Structure 1
């Protein structure tokens, strides 16, 4: 019987094997890059689909235009790599973050849509094709990130900075540092009578949370207070907000009639005059009151822009109280980036 042929143990690759393997690896690399780019394009579908419509961008994000939004993204993008992501396991303990379901710019778009439209998290999840827990994590993560990133920039402006951008309308009130006003947001009625009494607003006749916003004469938001229970008075809120520490003797604040803060501040207060028991005001007081009222209305316009974020249009549920302060402050901070100048003549 013939012996079986000996096995050829020479395992040297055939000529051109290495080159063929390298060519195949290069093809796989290019295919991987193509699929990654395709996936990025899919994930940005919602934002890119609206790139040609500033009206849609305004509706979904409150930014004035697609260009405004991209400029804002380019401003914060370098800091995104330092973002600390918030996730929670079923046990309530912080868990290791999973792979991102969306590109960061899409997460920003989702968060802005949440503020602008006040959408339920479940509805956002269906629209972006992610789970509700992912939506919740994105909202918490981006509210923390934007509060830290935008809040780290100096909002309060010096008298020199204010005078540099002072509108002509304020020439008779050139020392005005800040224009202040309070705003309230309706909230869910607590079951506890004691808590109800804390958040019940005598002015609105329902339960609210209340905050104070300050703007520079040229319209930029320069001060944001925390939110307080709706029963607090304007004067007490002013005191609790800590803004007094920012004021100096050479500055001035402009407020509404209800802000009786003269004894609390080291500076001048511009406020429309009261009749104070008189049958009529002197002519000079009437003119001054009208002028102050016309200038003070700009802070009301800023607050109106804030309330265009529909998240504040509905009753704030009690389960949002742990995060509503952050959302309020972030929405206020975003006002400086989302909008055109309050008055076209102020644009420089």
Structure 2
């Protein structure tokens, strides 16, 4: 993120560079990752259960002198005196155990007959080898609801469209298909599952899952950048909702959002990312929304130390507006009057109370009307925060990819259900 790294020492993770293979230099501030190893699975089979033994004795132990006659005549003493109901259960279990043993030894000649006998006893045996089990997370994405739950996309068709776009620009010969790689990125953004879990779900190593995430994320950002358009003035005028009736000259509504970061070991990074407003280390991004509720601008990331005014000026979003024609709507914290005045732009902003005891009736009405209009940018940001990766804290090694993360998520929000329904448009 250029705005964050402008004053960071060389070699720091905040100023890390990416090469053609998307290898990330995190030599400074890298958090040590604990190795996670899976425990070996125990044996499938076990010793056959035996009937319970009364008084702590053994099934095969002979009756002793002085034993209770009732215990001596128990059904476990000999075959002639066995109770048929008690002997039936061990016999069936021995038969099942023998069937499982023969199957495990690969006795193909008796498998068909044993399978029928096992089914009669209600025992299901999985004879497939682990190599034949190919079920992965992508197999679950067979309905729109599952796609929404795992990826944040509204439908399967939207997912397939994104995959087609990424496949058109993908030049790698990776063993993992493009579809799987795109899903891996989306699942990571939506659920924030660690790469160890993603590796297991996609049948790859953790290192491979991490490499595919960063490489595919850049390709997705390049493709989805088209989903964040900057509409012209005529298009804005044709799609003015009722709440903007008094503010028809507003071209964009601006607001900033922050996401918490993991605390870095680098002192320079901690200084740049510490947010006095949040009280934690954050990254900040400027979001612009059209009056119709469409995200039309997403800036590069800034450190939490940057003010809202600095984010507006460094993002150059004001230079996209037409002088003496367009207005910009901002909250009270954006002190951009001077900059907008230099560019010939109008500013729509809630009035300040200053030293007055209360607002006048006109000022109160203006505050209410602006709040009704500005709520749409807050709703757009709220939709972005549905992706758990933006709820933080973001892992420090992902800081260098936050620009692409914000862009991809903003594009997905634009591809979702519109924020404003049709009845919100038109003159009331």
TM-score by length of 1: 0.77
What is the match of residue 395 of structure 2? 317
The 2-side partners of 1:320 and 1:239 are apart by 25
For residue 274 of structure 1, the aligned residue among 352, 355, 380 is 352
Query: Matched residue of 1:211: which SS?
Result: strand
Structure 1 or 2, whichever has the larger Rg, is 2
Question: By how many angstroms is 1:151 displaced?
Answer: 1.8
**Equivalence for 1:27:** none
Measured after TM superposition, the shift of residue 237 of structure 1 is 0.9
Q: Using the TM superposition, give the Cα deviation of residue 154 of structure 1 relative to its aligned residue in structure 2, in angstroms.
A: 6.4
Deviating more after overlay: 112-121 vs 164-173: 164-173
The Cα offsets for residues 294-319 of structure 1, whole Å up to 9 and x where unpaired, read as 11011111111111111122312222
Q: Secondary structure at the match of 1:201?
A: coil
Output the aligned Cα RMSD.
Answer: 2.2
Partner of residue 179 from structure 2, selected from 105, 117, 133: 105
Q: How far off its partner does 1:189 sit?
A: 1.5
Give the match for residue 148 of structure 2.
58
How many residue pairs match? The answer is 289
Summarize the Cα distance change of 1:247–1:140 in structure 2 as closer, same or farther, 3 Å threshold.
same
Quick one: distance in 1 between partners of 2:140 and 2:266? 47
In structure 2, C-alpha distance between the alignment counterparts of 1:271 and 1:166, rounded to whole Å:
18
Query: Does the aligned pair in 1 maintain the 2:228–2:297 contact within 8 Å?
Result: no
The answer for the alignment partner of 1:83 in structure 2 is: 170
* Separation in 2, partners of 1:61, 1:243: 30
Contact kept, 8 Å, 2:151 with 2:190, in 1: the verdict is yes
Residues 1:259 and 2:334 aligned together: yes
129-138 or 300-309, which moves further after superposition?
129-138
| CA offsets 1:255-290 (integer angstroms, 9 cap, x no match) | 111111111122111111111211122211110111
Check whether the contact 1:341–1:347 (CA below 8 A) recurs between aligned residues.
Answer: no
- Range with greater deviation from structure 2 (202-211 or 69-78): 69-78
Tell me the equivalent position of 2:31.
none
Quick check: 1:293 aligned with 2:367?
A: no
Q: Is structure 2 residue 421 aligned with structure 1 residue 344?
A: yes
- Note if contact 1:43-1:106 (Cα within 8 Å) is conserved in structure 2: no
Gaps of 5+ in 1: 1-41, 86-96
Per-residue Cα deviation, 1:41-67 (whole angstroms, up to 9, x for no partner): x9796345343351x322211123x3x
Match of 1:138 in 2: 212
Distance in 2 between residues matched to 1:123 and 1:299, nearest whole Å: 34
Tell me if structure 1 keeps the 8 A contact 2:272–2:303.
yes
**1:46 maps to 2:137:** yes
